[in-house]
Chain A
Amino acid sequence: MTHAALVMKDISKAFPGIQALDKASLEVRPGEIHGMVGENGAGKSSIIKVLAGIYRAESGTIFVMGKPIENITPEAVHAFGIRFIHQELHLVPHFTVTESVFMGQETSGPFGLRSRDMRRRAESFLKETLNASISGGALIRDLGPAERKLVQIARALIDGQARIVVFDEPTAPLSSDEIAQLFQAIRALKARGIAMLYVSHYLKEITEICDRVTVFRNGRDVARFEQITPQSGGELVSAMVGRELGELYPPRGERTVSDAPVLALRDAGDGALFEGVSLELRAGEIVGIAGLVGSGRSAVVDTLYGLRKLHAGGMELDGKPVRFRSPAEAVAKGIVLVPRDRRNDGLVLSMSSAENINIASLDEIARFWLESRKRAHIRAERQIADLDIRPVDPDVIARNLSGGNQQKLVLGRWLATDARVFLLDEPTVGVDVGARVEIYALIERLVEQGAAVLISSSDPAELIGTCDRILVMMRGRIACEVDAGGLAVDELVALTTGANGEAA
């Protein structure tokens, strides 16, 4: 029997108060794409950090090609041919492709760097191993997201010593075309016999590309699927949450939709990313915007929130023309945004849960212009309980919360105000399944209370599951509007990618 490329056996790791890994095991074979799934906090990142030599496990062994790694340090792991493709790209925007690929491993001769030789090697590696033609002289900042990802992969593999490659959420910033491009490269690596561990929240991708899948829950490997088909998603979800998840999306409550739009765009354009966009948001309904990255949907959301200037057309609030010069003006009118980059734009990471929740409603809790700490705390505690934010501690620093809990915090902040229009940009990116269900339920509650909600998302299932109608954007214009009821995911994907030949 041939050796597995990577075996992690009975790995345990505890942090104060948490058993992050409890005799977890994992096995990846050569030439296999092995998926690893689990909710946030299930132990996926912990076991990867143990493998990377960042965390030191209390017990357990790691074997590479049958040989145990004696002293697990980042250097030893690298020497054993294990490479990591982190979620963040870690590229320098003004470096060329060649410089990026060889960063930290440049080759030089007696007359300095062998630039031409490095460029040739970078280009041929990208071409032959990753199936991509990218010029070695191109600057990173001129590349698309998928190409940047490929450069990152090339950097990890250029020395030819890689035997095991760990992908951590590799598709996070990519649109579906770009994902296809990335998958092509990953399959090319598989054909070369490289073992791959593929970690992702996107079950659709897992079922599409992975040969086998290990499911993590509570710091343990709870299930291993030896056969993966596109239909395995449901089984994976039940294994992840440990109970049958009835529905990811909440049932539709009674929605009373107002006749007059609350917020509307009329033939609007920002002079760069979109033009001729008209849309209407009514109280009590959820409108979705679908579209690839670069279709302009994020720019439309930013414009509604006063982050981008309107160059053409107009905006109306309650039927009256309005123009926001800054987000502060939008918030004053009851329009709020849950941004796609919640870590940088949505939260003050160094502040506590309570402070983050109260930051938008200080006026209300202030007494004689001074913040009443006691009132603030009571409010925050109520919100935290209401939103089921874990840990249930108003003083925990936002940085230490999981992605799902951070997002609930951002939503919770606006729930505490009298906002009427909610703009949600990628509300569940990087959020685990359990927390997603809760966030969808929250959104449903908002509409039932008469709020108008706009969701911009790259997840077609999410839009179909939550929205009443969906606007499909393509190249800065609204290509069509569809009713979400009864729409199939592949129909929506076809619309956003223009697969059915509609003119862009």
Chain B
Amino acid sequence: MRSLTLTRLVGIAPLLIFVAMLAYIGFNAPNFFTVTTADLVLKQSIPVVVVSLGLAIVVMAGGDDIVAGGIDLSIPSTAALAASITALLVTNMNQPLIVGLLAALAAALAIGLVNALLVTRINMTPLLATLASSVAIVGIASVVTSSRRINVTDPAIVFIRDGCILGISADVVLVAILVFVAFHLIHRTRWGMNMQAVGGSRDAAEISGIPVKRFLFSSFVLAALAGWLAAPFVLARGSGVSPGVEENLLIEMVLATFLGAAFSPRRVVTLWGAVLGAILVAAVSIGFKSMGVNVFWTGLIKGSLILIVVALAAVSSRTRT
């Protein structure tokens, strides 16, 4: 009985750490627990939420073993490339936004296809395959933008940044709809259940007549799609695109997704977990900012948090039988 409680404790420890941190921030930062801050936190979390949906899907389809299971590190770079292509076409070439987004979609799908082929046909480990492709994607993005900032002032992008729908920030509403659709697809359909089965046990899925490779393949395409979907929000938040936008996204995406496992009663990566994880990470970042913590320290703090969360996940999966 004692060891069981200990396992539970280790499982929810990442959550406790975050709640404790929020409480600490709340005591020390003035006006932290207000509606304004809540809106700020949600807005801040948005690009991370969208890319985390993609990563959660890949992890759920590939299994949560970080080395051998499913992981896609190229989603943030895909988002950056998609934003760059859109910005280039809209601002530098005076094309309508829709043209820019469609071109970016084509690029994102190509990336998804390449990742999927690397993993399912060439049998590369997803970690290495997507690490390599993410470097290449960032390279393409800097070629596209000549490593320069591009401003975007398209009214639709401005609306996403500043607009309101029914009194709620427009971007928050749009992402909420996106999350709901993704949740339904993954947790409430046959297709989604089968995909989770593939991630849970490839052998079990195969025996049950589920086409394992097809689901793995689709998960990487969906992940790239999530990268593309994040692009308009990346553009809205930055009023354009700057080089290096993917770096922060990458760290927060990994942190949010695996932190999310602590929210799930089954201790596995889920879409809801990833979304809540992203919001918590944003809350902590904003909290530190409003407490006046030096920006240079936040990198170290986030890095340590990833380590703690992943280490605790490893401990809890080792202690459970």
Contacts and interface: CB of A to CB of B under 8 A. Distances in A.
A104 B209 contact: yes
Interface string A432-453: 0000000000000000000000
A94 B193 contact: no
Given A103-B210, A141-B320, A272-B3, A92 B190 contact: no
Interface string B172-196: 0000000000001000111001101
Contacts of A113: 188-190, 193
Interface in B265-321: 266-268, 320-321
B190 A91 contact: no
A155 B205 CA distance: 12
B31 interface: no
Nearest to A86: B207
Interface in A82-123: 86, 88-95, 99, 102-106, 108, 111-113
A78 B209 CA distance: 10
A102 B209 CA distance: 12
Interface size class of A (residues with CB under 8 A): 20 to 34
B290 to A, nearest CB: 37
A479 interface: no
A139 interface: yes
A139 B266 contact: yes
A90 B320 contact: no
Contact of A92 (B188, B201, B209): B201
Given A92-B201, A272-B3, A106 B184 contact: no
Nearest to A107: B190
Contacts, number: 63
A450 to B, nearest CB: 37
A92 B197 contact: yes
B207 A108 contact: no
B200 A92 contact: yes
A155 B194 CA distance: 14
Interface in A52-94: 78, 86, 88-94
B204 A94 contact: no
B195 to A, nearest CB: 11
B194 A92 contact: no
> Number of contact residues on B: which range applies?
20 to 34
B203 interface: yes
Contacts of B208: 90, 103-105, 155
A112 B188 contact: yes
B147 to A, nearest CB: 44
A91 B210 CA distance: 13
B209 to A, nearest CB: 5
B267 to A, nearest CB: 7
What secondary structure prevails in chain B residues at the interface with A?
helix
Nearest to B266: A94
A100 to B, nearest CB: 8
B197 A108 contact: no
A418 B161 CA distance: 74
A99 B193 contact: yes
Nearest to A99: B193
Which of B2, B188, B196, B200: most chain A Cβ within 10 A? B200
Contacts of A92: 196-197, 200-201, 204
A94 B190 contact: no
B203 A106 contact: no
Nearest to A93: B200
Interface centre among A102, A104, A111, A155 (most CB of B within 10 A): A104
B266 A104 contact: no
Contacts of A94: 200, 266-268
A89 B204 CA distance: 8
A78 B141 CA distance: 50
A90 B204 contact: yes
B69 to A, nearest CB: 13
A113 B186 CA distance: 11
Contact of B189 (A78, A86, A105, A112): A112
Contacts of A155: 208
Nearest to A140: B200
Nearest to A155: B208
Nearest to A92: B200
A102 to B, nearest CB: 8
A102 B321 CA distance: 24
A82 to B, nearest CB: 14
Contacts of B189: 108, 112-113
B216 to A, nearest CB: 16
Nearest to B199: A92
A496 B162 CA distance: 72
Contacts of A272: 2-3
Contact of B207 (A90, A112, A271): A90
Contacts of A86: 207
A108 to B, nearest CB: 5
A91 B320 contact: no
B62 to A, nearest CB: 13
Contact of B200 (A88, A95, A105, A112): A95
A20 B3 CA distance: 49
Contact of A90 (B3, B190, B194, B203): B203
A94 B264 CA distance: 11
Contacts of B184: 112
Given A90-B207, A141-B320, A103 B197 contact: yes
Interface string B195-225: 0110011011101111000000000000000
Given A94-B267, A113-B188, A104 B197 contact: yes
A218 B8 CA distance: 52
B201 A90 contact: yes
Contacts of B200: 92-95
Interface in A244-280: 271-272
Contacts of A103: 193-194, 197, 204-205, 208, 210
B190 A106 contact: yes
Nearest to B264: A94
B209 A91 contact: no
Interface in B102-135: none
A86 B207 CA distance: 9
Contacts of A271: 3
A1 B119 CA distance: 55
Contact of B190 (A88, A89, A108, A139): A108
Contacts of A139: 266
A209 B86 CA distance: 70
Interface string A364-405: 000000000000000000000000000000000000000000
A102 B190 CA distance: 10
Nearest to A94: B266
Nearest to B198: A92
A92 B196 CA distance: 9
Which has the most chain B C-beta neighbours within 10 Å: A94, A95, A155?
A94
B205 A104 contact: yes
A385 B197 CA distance: 46
18 contacts: A86-B207, A90-B203, A90-B204, A90-B208, A92-B197, A92-B201, A92-B204, A93-B200, A93-B201, A94-B267, A95-B200, A103-B204, A104-B209, A104-B210, A105-B208, A111-B188, A113-B188, A141-B320
Given A92-B197, A95-B197, A103-B210, 5 more contacts: A91-B204, A99-B193, A103-B205, A105-B209, A141-B320
Among all A-B residue pairs, the 3 with the closest Cβ atoms: A92-B200, A104-B208, A112-B188
Interface of B: 2-3, 184, 188-190, 193-194, 196-197, 200-201, 203-205, 207-210, 266-268, 320-321
